[in-house]
């Protein structure tokens, strides 16, 4: 198995975009190739992380469209879909293509175009992720989040207001991210007075609907220096699943896929949770940041809320989480999110994170599909 490096990364501005998915993919791809000073003709494999271009825009075959638009034919292309964890799954696919020796240069582009559809249409498309019986009984992803949040708060005797700390922190980080959908601070009072969506979760506990794309360029570690002096390495990566029927899980406050993929990724990398200097977690709902940071071993079960309250996960804390603003503030274009998480870690490890820079040699990204139905965890390290 070959060691794998990431030699280029990019993302578009997230938000409401006028481009369709094809244009979004091309923009991120071109910026990524420019970052690495690589021409399209050098690409051997090209993966596209996208959940639902067919449902959102009536367009499939977008990997081929990208290969055509970039002019990287005859590079092999393929779409990677793992619902909202498509980006992390794309990293896993691209990594395997290099690790196996199949490709010496692999481009991954993640993207989604969503905002042109009405909210009910978008809700229907996203709800198709979940078990149809649960959905038809009204148990949507936001409902699960509300139910789980209540379980967490009661189980650990955590104050309801603690959820708001995640939103406040991630918005504070997003202010400084020029790619973020919301570049504005929110205070705790605003979060706690926003409309209830799924009790106890309020409007500001949820990520927005977003358009955008992001890209990464992979090559064998041993060839990375031929392209650039600024690269990071994939230290560990793993994916795992949990039940598709969420109500069959023993304990909703434990995300089995997060635990499993984290343990495997740590084992592969040789790192432990204590070695992680910065992390991007899948905060589609504020409660998920607590569950993931506990599932990944950053905090003991039931203590993520107090650690957050104490500022441990803030930009100047011991373990900064979602320095990019997270999905909460940066936005969540389904297929792009996992790729954009790795983009943030890449920037941090290369010391290119500007105002959001933290001291980091090892970073972790956790991308979640469904309500933890599938998870991919990636650990990146600065070049030693």
What is the contact surface with its own copies in residues (CB under 8 A)? 1, 51-52, 54-55, 58-61, 63-65, 67-69, 73-83, 89, 92-93, 96-97, 99-102, 124-125, 128-132, 238-245, 256-257, 260-261, 369-370, 373-374, 376
CB-CB contact of 251 with 154 (8 Å): no
Name the token pair of 100.
């196996």
Q: Residue written as tokens 């209830």? A: 196
CA atoms within 13 A on the CB side of 50: 33
DSSP-assigned states of every residue in 204-224: GGB----BEEEEEEEEEGGGH
Nearer to its own copies, 77 or 140 (CB): 77
Question: CA 256 to CA 118: how far, in whole Å?
Answer: 33
Dist. CA 340–CA 347, nearest whole Å: 10
Burial of 355 (0-12, 13-18, 19+ CB in 10 A): exposed
Q: Which is nearer to its own copies, 200 or 369 (CB)?
A: 369
Q: Is the CB of 148 or the CB of 323 nearer to its own copies? A: 148
Tokens 């005859």 correspond to what residue? 74
* Residue 362 C-beta: closest distance to its own copies, Å: 21
* Calpha distance 144→198 (Å, rounded): 9
Q: How far is the CB of 351 from its own copies (least distance, A)?
A: 30
Q: For its own copies, which is the closer residue by CB, 87 or 200?
A: 87
Q: Which is nearer to its own copies, 74 or 195 (CB)?
A: 74
By beta-carbon proximity to its own copies, the closer residue of 61 and 311 is: 61
Least Å from the CB of residue 285 to its own copies: 18
DSSP code at position 176: T
Looking at the Cβ atoms of 77 and 313, the one nearer to its own copies is 77
Q: Is the dihedral of CA 30, 36, 42, 48 positive or negative?
A: negative
For its own copies, give the closer residue by CB, 220 or 302: 220
Minimum distance from CB of 130 to its own copies (Å)? Answer: 7
Tell me the closest approach of the beta carbon of residue 74 to its own copies, in angstroms. Answer: 4
Residue owning tokens 């207001």: 161
Distance separating alpha carbons of residues 14 and 70, to the nearest angstrom:
21
**Rounded Cα–Cα distance for residues 148 and 140 (Å):** 12
Within 194-301, residue ranges assigned H as helices are: 224-227, 256-269, 286-295
Residue 21: CB minimum distance to its own copies, A: 11
Q: Are 33 and 217 in contact (CB under 8 A)?
A: yes
Closer by beta carbon to its own copies, 17 or else 79: 79
* Closest by Cα among 330, 303, 27 to 207: 330
Question: Do 111 and 333 form a contact (C-beta atoms < 8 A)?
Answer: yes
Least separation in angstroms between residue 337's CB and its own copies is: 16
CB of 226 to its own copies, least distance (A): 21
Of the pair 68, 160, the CB lying nearest its own copies is at: 68
Rounded to 10 deg, the angle between the 286-295 and 141-155 helix axes is: 60
CA-nearest of 193, 210, 218, 195 to 325 is: 210
Could you tell me the smallest distance in angstroms from the CB atom of residue 271 to its own copies?
18
Least separation in angstroms between residue 220's CB and its own copies is 12
């Amino acid at each position: 198995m070959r060691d794998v490096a990431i030699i280029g990364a990019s993302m578009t501005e997230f938000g409401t975009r006028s481009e369709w998915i094809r244009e979004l993919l091309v923009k991120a791809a071109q910026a990524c190739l420019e970052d690495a000073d690589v021409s399209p003709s050098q690409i051997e494999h090209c993966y596209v992380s996208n959940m639902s271009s067919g449902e959102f825009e009536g367009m499939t075959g977008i990997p081929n469209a990208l290969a055509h638009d970039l002019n990287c034919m005859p590079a092999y292309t393929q779409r990677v879909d793992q619902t909202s964890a498509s980006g992390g799954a794309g990293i896993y696919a691209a990594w395997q293509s290099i690790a196996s020796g199949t490709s010496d240069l692999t481009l991954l582009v993640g993207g989604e175009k969503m905002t042109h559809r009405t909210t009910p249409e978008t809700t229907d498309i996203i709800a198709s992720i979940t078990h149809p019986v649960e959905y038809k009984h009204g148990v949507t992803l936001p409902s699960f989040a509300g139910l789980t949040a209540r379980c967490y708060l009661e189980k650990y005797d955590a104050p309801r207001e603690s959820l708001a700390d995640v939103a406040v922190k991630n918005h504070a980080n997003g202010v400084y991210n020029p790619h973020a959908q919301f570049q504005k601070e929110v205070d705790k009072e605003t979060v706690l007075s926003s409309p209830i969506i799924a009790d106890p979760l309020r409007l500001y506990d949820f990520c927005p609907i977003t358009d955008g794309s992001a890209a990464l360029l992979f090559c064998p570690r041993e060839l990375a220096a031929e392209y650039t002096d600024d690269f990071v390495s994939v230290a560990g990566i793993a994916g795992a699943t949990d039940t598709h029927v969420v109500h069959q899980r023993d304990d909703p406050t434990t995300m089995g896929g997060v635990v499993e993929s984290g343990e495997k990724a740590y084992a592969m990398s040789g790192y432990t949770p204590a070695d992680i200097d910065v992390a991007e977690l899948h905060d589609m709902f504020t409660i998920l940041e607590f569950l993931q940071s506990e599932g990944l071993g950053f905090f003991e079960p039931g203590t993520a809320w107090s650690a957050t309250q104490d500022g441990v996960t803030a930009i100047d804390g011991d373990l900064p989480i979602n320095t990019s603003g997270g999905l909460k503030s940066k936005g969540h274009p389904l297929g792009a999110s996992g790729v954009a998480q790795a983009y943030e870690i890449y920037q941090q490890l290369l010391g290119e994170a500007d105002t959001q820079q933290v001291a980091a040699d090892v970073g972790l990204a956790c991308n979640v599909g469904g309500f933890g139905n599938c998870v991919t965890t990636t650990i990146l390290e600065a070049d030693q």
